[in-house]
Structure 1
Amino acid sequence: MSRNNDIEVSQVKATADPSPLGLGGFALTTFVLSIGNAQLIPLAAKPAFLGLAFFYGGLAQLLAGMQEYKKNNVFGATAFSTYGAFWLSLATLSVFESTGVIDWGGYAGTALGIFLLGFTIFNTYMWIASFRTNGAVCGVFTTLEITFILLVLAEFGIISSVPGGIMGIVTAAVAWYASAAGVINSTYKRTVLPIFPLDKIEKKY
């Protein structure tokens, strides 16, 4: 039994950290969509995020979440799997709307507002949990929380999408930093980009 346990432990140690992939997929997809929300590109160009939402922010991030399960990382598995599914869901809704499969009947803002509100609730408790990870990851969930709130207000017609778009760009930048830290620090085998641990007990997110 102990030998089998040793084998399992060695396999876990040999598994590459999937979080830089998940963070990278989230960052790039968020960036492209947020450029559109910030109205920095023509409205007709906004669907450019769809391919990323299906494959990079969606599929690749979902796969990263599945790998986090193997590492016994509840936080990472829940975050990456959920946001992978978020992008797949959002992209599917966008395609269904554009092809006429869904007819919002003038209530598109309300429907998407409720959709985003649900993810805001999810992000709130993940944000609280991120206090026990590190500054880079906590920064992602903090900026994302603000982004979601602003986008919900925009969908309900209270404000424009520009503030949420700008905050989304900030979120993408923070997520890119966290992803880059995971890749560069691992490659150089030393801390090149600090992730600012928030817990005195060293742990991996």
Structure 2
Amino acid sequence: MTDVEKGNAPAGASHAANNGPGQLWDPSRSYAVRQPSRIANPGALGLFSFASTTLLLSFINVQTRGVTEPNVVVGMAIFVGGLAQLLAGMWEFPRGNVFGCTAFTSYGAFWMSYATILIPSSGILTAYTNPDDLSNALGLYLIIWFIFTTLLLFGAIRRNISFCLLLGFLSLTFLLLACGEFTGKVKVTKAGGGFGIVTAIVAYYCAVSELMILEESYFTLPLGSIRKRSE
């Protein structure tokens, strides 16, 4: 939720009335006035999509019921983890939620790119004739997302404990999966899948919390508030 939606108007908001209804920018002033958005909170959609796709791939990484090939996740990665999250990220932009639009859009793009790697007609996997080269390439791909997720974790520190746990477990998931590709050790990949399952569970919790609005629910799920920096 943005500060305006929570009732914490940004500096300069007292001048909003002078700018007229719906006017976000007054050329005579050096600030923009953010108005409350009428767009519904897309956070639940993005988190549910991320959690479901992550859980499916993590089940495969731990070889649930003997399944080892990840190609079944392609459809989920394109439309659920990919398209749905990308749309959630786009809807976060007009709401003024920089963290939400960055996270959802980026992970939506991640799932789409991962699905593209697995699609046989893309030719990406067959381009690597040496299995070691393929493993190292996938390891580098996962390391990039480990770095991105770790950096995103710094932005979550000012939000709540649940998001910090979500990104923390996700960082470990990417790191272990990358190490599994580099070393070729199945146990390391399974460990990454285990952390992926935990990540998905935390994401489901955050999604339900976003879904349960105080005005429309009998109870809400706490995300764990973090004391804000004093001005």
- Normalised TM-score (structure 1): 0.88
The answer as to whether partners of 1:127 and 1:141 remain within 8 angstroms in 2 is: yes
Q: Match for residue 173 of structure 2?
A: 147
After TM superposition, the structure 1 = structure 2 runs for residues 115-130 of structure 1, keeping only pairs within 5 Å, are 115-130=141-156
Tell me which stretches of 4 or more aligned residues in structure 1 moved more than 4 Å.
Answer: none
- Normalised TM-score (structure 2): 0.79
After TM superposition, the structure 1 = structure 2 runs for residues 25-40 of structure 1, keeping only pairs within 5 Å, are 25-40=49-64
Q: Does 1:17 align with 2:22?
A: no
Amino acid at match of 2:210: G
SS at match of 1:133: coil
Q: Match for residue 19 of structure 2?
A: 2
Partners in 1 of 2:45 and 2:214 — Cα distance?
13
Q: Match for residue 30 of structure 2?
A: none
Q: Which structure is higher in helix share?
A: 1
The answer as to whether partners of 1:22 and 1:65 remain within 8 angstroms in 2 is: yes
Alignment partner of 1:64 out of 51, 67, 88: 88
Q: Match for residue 101 of structure 1?
A: 123
- Report how far residue 120 of structure 1 moved: 0.9
Partners in 1 of 2:214 and 2:48 — Cα distance?
15
Q: Say how many residue pairs are matched.
A: 197
Q: Match for residue 13 of structure 2?
A: none
- Report how far residue 44 of structure 1 moved: 5.7
Q: Match for residue 181 of structure 1?
A: 209
After TM superposition, the structure 1 = structure 2 runs for residues 73-88 of structure 1, keeping only pairs within 5 Å, are 73-88=97-112
The answer as to whether partners of 1:185 and 1:193 remain within 8 angstroms in 2 is: no
Q: Once the two structures are superposed, what CA deviation does each residue of 1:11-37 show, in whole Å capped at 9, x if it has no partner? A: x1x221111111111000000000000
The answer as to whether partners of 1:147 and 1:167 remain within 8 angstroms in 2 is: yes
Q: Does 1:111 align with 2:137?
A: yes
Shifted more, 105-114 versus 43-52: the winner is 43-52
- Report how far residue 123 of structure 1 moved: 0.7
Partners in 1 of 2:182 and 2:194 — Cα distance?
18
Partners in 2 of 1:144 and 1:119 — Cα distance?
9
Partners in 1 of 2:78 and 2:128 — Cα distance?
22
RMSD between aligned residues: 2.1
Q: Could you list the runs of 5+ residues in structure 1 that have no partner in the other structure?
A: none
Amino acid at match of 2:208: A
After TM superposition, the structure 1 = structure 2 runs for residues 161-176 of structure 1, keeping only pairs within 5 Å, are 161-176=189-204
Amino acid at match of 1:17: N
Identity of aligned residues (%): 37
Partners in 1 of 2:184 and 2:71 — Cα distance?
23
Partners in 1 of 2:147 and 2:140 — Cα distance?
11
Partners in 2 of 1:176 and 1:52 — Cα distance?
16
